[in-house]
Chain A
Amino acid sequence: MRTPAGNKVYAMAAEFPSASALYEAAKRVRDAGFKRWDVYSPFPIHGMDGAMGLGKSWLSAAVLVGGVTGLLTAMILEFGPSWFIYPLIVHGKPFTWRTVPAFFPIMFELTILFAAFAAFFSMLLMNGLPRWNHPVFNWQRFARATNDGFFLVIEARDPRFTELEARELLEGSGGQHITIIHDED
Chain B
Amino acid sequence: MDASAIAPDVLAAEASSSVERPLARVPLVLNQRNFAWLTERIAGVVEGPAPRWWWVAFAVCAGVAGIGLFCLGYQISTGVGTWGLNHPVGWAWDITNFVFWIGIGHAGTLISAILFLLRQKWRTSINRAAEAMTLFAVICAAIFPGVHVGRVWMAWFMAPLPNNYGIWPNFRSPLLWDVFAVSTYFTVSVLFWYTGLIPDLATLRDRATSKVKKFLFGLFAVGWRGSNRNWRHYEMAYLLLAGLSTPLVLSVHSVVSFDFATSIIPTWHTTIFPPYFVAGAIFGGFAMVLTLMIPARAIFKLHDIITPQHVDKMAKIILLTGSIVSYAYAMEFFIAWYSGNQYERFAFWNRVFGPYWWYWWVGMLFCNAMSPQLFWFKWCRRNVYVVYFVCMCVNAGMWFERFIIIVGGLHRDFIPSSWGMFHPTWVDIWTFVGTFGIFMSLFLLFIRFLPMIAMSEVKIVLPEADAHHVSPGERHVVAAGGGTGT
B307 adjacent to chain A (CB < 8 Å): no
Interface bracket on A: 35 or more
| A contact residues around B187 at 8 Å (CB) | 113, 116
| A contact residues around B476 at 8 Å (CB) | 20-21, 24, 174
Q: C-beta contact mask, A2-43 vs B, less than 8 Å → 1, else 0?
A: 000000000000000111110111111011000000111111
A145 adjacent to chain B (CB < 8 Å): yes
B232 adjacent to chain A (CB < 8 Å): yes
Instruction: Judge whether A148 and B1 touch: CB under 8 Å.
Output: yes
Cα A133 to Cα B234 in complex, Å, equals 19
Instruction: Judge whether A51 and B191 touch: CB under 8 Å.
Output: no
Instruction: Judge whether B168 and A59 touch: CB under 8 Å.
Output: no
Cα A57 to Cα B194 in complex, Å, equals 20
| A contact residues around B202 at 8 Å (CB) | 146
| A contact residues around B181 at 8 Å (CB) | 105, 109
B227 adjacent to chain A (CB < 8 Å): yes
B479's contact among A28, A60, A90, by CB below 8 Å, is which? A28
Instruction: Judge whether B226 and A145 touch: CB under 8 Å.
Output: yes
Instruction: Judge whether B251 and A119 touch: CB under 8 Å.
Output: no
Main SS of the interface on chain B? helix
Instruction: Judge whether B481 and A42 touch: CB under 8 Å.
Output: no
Instruction: Judge whether A147 and B36 touch: CB under 8 Å.
Output: yes
- B308-316, B333-341, B410-418, B464-472: which lies at the A interface? B464-472
Instruction: Judge whether B228 and A106 touch: CB under 8 Å.
Output: no
B48 adjacent to chain A (CB < 8 Å): no
Q: C-beta contact mask, A59-97 vs B, less than 8 Å → 1, else 0?
A: 110010000000000000110011001101010010000
| B contact residues around A47 at 8 Å (CB) | 467, 483, 486
Q: How many residues of chain B have a CB within 8 Å of chain A?
A: 83
A52's contact among B203, B207, B228, by CB below 8 Å, is which? B228
Cα A113 to Cα B188 in complex, Å, equals 7
| B contact residues around A137 at 8 Å (CB) | 225
Q: A86-B166, A143-B206 are in contact. Are A77 and B160 (CB under 8 A)?
A: yes
| B contact residues around A120 at 8 Å (CB) | 191, 194-195, 237, 241
B244 adjacent to chain A (CB < 8 Å): yes
Cα A57 to Cα B471 in complex, Å, equals 31
A42's contact among B168, B176, B459, by CB below 8 Å, is which? B459
Nearest A residue to B460 by beta-carbon distance? Answer: A43
Instruction: Judge whether B248 and A38 touch: CB under 8 Å.
Output: no
Instruction: Judge whether B167 and A86 touch: CB under 8 Å.
Output: yes
B9 adjacent to chain A (CB < 8 Å): no
Smallest CB separation, A64 vs chain B (Å): 9
Instruction: Judge whether B237 and A20 touch: CB under 8 Å.
Output: no
Instruction: Judge whether A146 and B203 touch: CB under 8 Å.
Output: yes
Q: C-beta contact mask, A121-161 vs B, less than 8 Å → 1, else 0?
A: 01110110111111011000011111110000000000000
B241's contact among A45, A86, A119, by CB below 8 Å, is which? A119
| B contact residues around A42 at 8 Å (CB) | 35, 39, 199, 203, 226, 455-456, 459
Q: A21-B476, A133-B223 are in contact. Are A123 and B469 (CB under 8 A)?
A: no
A110 adjacent to chain B (CB < 8 Å): yes
Cα A47 to Cα B485 in complex, Å, equals 7
Q: A43-B459, A50-B484, A108-B251 are in contact. Are A17 and B237 (CB under 8 A)?
A: no
B4 adjacent to chain A (CB < 8 Å): no
| B contact residues around A85 at 8 Å (CB) | 168
Q: Which of B176, B205, B226, B484 has the largest number of chain A CB atoms within 10 A?
A: B226
A183 adjacent to chain B (CB < 8 Å): no
B236's contact among A50, A59, A113, by CB below 8 Å, is which? A59
| A contact residues around B247 at 8 Å (CB) | 108, 112
B173 adjacent to chain A (CB < 8 Å): yes
| A contact residues around B237 at 8 Å (CB) | 59, 63, 119-120, 122-123
Smallest CB separation, A59 vs chain B (Å): 4
Question: Which A residues lie at the B interface, using CB under 8 A?
Answer: 17-21, 23-28, 30-31, 38-57, 59-60, 63, 77-78, 81-82, 85-86, 88, 90, 93, 99, 102-103, 105-106, 108-110, 112-113, 115-117, 119-120, 122-124, 126-127, 129-134, 136-137, 142-148, 172-174
User: What are 14 A-to-B residue pairs whose CB atoms are below 8 Å?
Assistant: A31-B480, A38-B228, A41-B226, A44-B232, A52-B228, A60-B240, A86-B167, A102-B171, A109-B251, A127-B234, A134-B223, A145-B225, A147-B203, A172-B477
9 further A-B pairs in the complex, CB-CB below 8 A; given A86-B166, A112-B184, A146-B202: A44-B228, A46-B486, A57-B235, A82-B171, A103-B171, A113-B184, A116-B244, A126-B233, A146-B205
Question: Which B residues lie at the A interface, using CB under 8 A?
Answer: 1, 34-36, 39, 160, 166-168, 170-174, 176-177, 180-181, 184, 187-188, 191-192, 194-195, 199, 202-203, 205-207, 218, 222-237, 240-241, 244-245, 247-248, 251, 255, 258, 455-457, 459-460, 464-471, 474-486
The 4 A-B pairs of least Cβ separation, nearest first, read: A130-B222, A50-B485, A47-B486, A148-B35
